[in-house]
Amino acid sequence: MTDVTIRKTEHLHGEVAAPPSKSYTQRMVIAAALSDGTSTITNPLYSEDTQAALQAVIALGAGFKAGNGCWQITGTYPLQVSKVPIDCGESGATLRFMIPVVALADGPSTLLFRGSIERRPVEPLLQSLHRLGVETNVGKVCGLDTVFVKGGGIIGGKTSIAGNISSQFISGLMLACPMAKKNVEIALTSPLESADYVKMTTAVLSKHAIALSAEDRHIVVPAGQTYKAANSRVPGDFSSAAFLLAAAAITNSKITITNLDHESVQGDKVILTILKNMGVAGKICPDSVEIHGRRTPLKPVDVDATNIPDLVPVIAALACYAEGNSHISGAKRLRLKESDRLASIYAALTKMGAQITVTQDGLTIQGTSLHGAVIDPHNDHRIAMATAIAALGAKGETIVTDCECIRKSYPQFLTHLKQLGVDVVGGKLDR
């Protein structure tokens, strides 16, 4: 267990590169593993979640070679049957992507999940796959939640699934169904939330010569397609960079975050608009973003988080430093993340003196001064990082316990804070 102490910091300065996108890396790894030939992924993210995706495809027979800032993945199809259970770690995305993918193998697969399937549900995905001819069930192995997939291929046909629980369900189906025996039609029974993540999946599929159509709430995936090897570069991650951008806003600092492409298909780039609405000045360049903090309090904002759930923790931290009430809505799904994020945000920030009301689908936050405290992030990487950012303007020092959970998405977070001038003690986590 690693505890980190963060002291109030008046001013940050410098330049760091945003970490590569976790979401893109996971999708590119799986698409490469299904491809005919060898694909090169440049600038991949090294994190616990991306390692889980990588180990999963290796277990299914994909070849792998790392070197000089890139991964080379040689595809394997038909997929081999893993002789041992495939460990998805605590990565809900890896689990949800791999359930449909392992159905393509000739025999049964067992997927282990080190989180809670009750918190990161998969049942809607299993029901949707059942309509496509895939047999699955959920159980336990050595105390871990487990999904058993019979394998033998995806027959195809028509299925349906909710669009407002997790976009990862839809992305998982899109990754596997091009290799179904018959065309697949997916009807969404509710509006799609986090739609930009599905667009991201579509972009990765297109790079590998996979075609599909998605209009309104209806997706059609033609069967019998062949993934082609492709060379791709992982763009910088706006959801992770948001914490650094918020740090500059809170501390009246000027910093530059490189490796950010404003043209990439990432919904979380809206953090730039949110900061602007809060009165933060900045400059968007072709491959970087400059942020200038402000001496006066931030302006309050009203944010609909339906399509940007990962930004809610950092928006909440920013809102504590606004003059007035900020409102975050459309965040009900955050109760099904690594922690109940609405409850975790409330617990962490109110312990630091924040005035927060938890609403039916979000938060209302009244700006006020914060003070240091000892914070338990509940093994949630985004809560740990949001608390660390909130601590920069808080009186005294803040201790974030069990901070190693940031390895899940942003292992270099503390290193980057130190490079920008934050007084951080402990947390030798970067690798």
Listing DSSP states for 258-295 in one string gives: ES--TTSS-GGGGHHHHHHHTT-EEEEETTEEEEE--S
Distance CA 128, CA 112 (A): 20
- CA distance to 2, 340, 377, per residue, from 384 (Å): 12, 13, 5
Beta bridge partners of 64: 73
Distance CA 376, CA 362 (A): 21
Distance CA 47, CA 407 (A): 6
Phi, psi (rounded to 5 degrees) for 295: -75, -30
Q: Would you name the residues annotated as active-site residues?
A: 310
Phi, psi (rounded to 5 degrees) for 33: -65, -25
Residue whose structure tokens are 């660390």: 388
Listing DSSP states for 38-67 in one string gives: EEEEES---SHHHHHHHHHHHHTT-EEEEE
Distance CA 370, CA 313 (A): 16
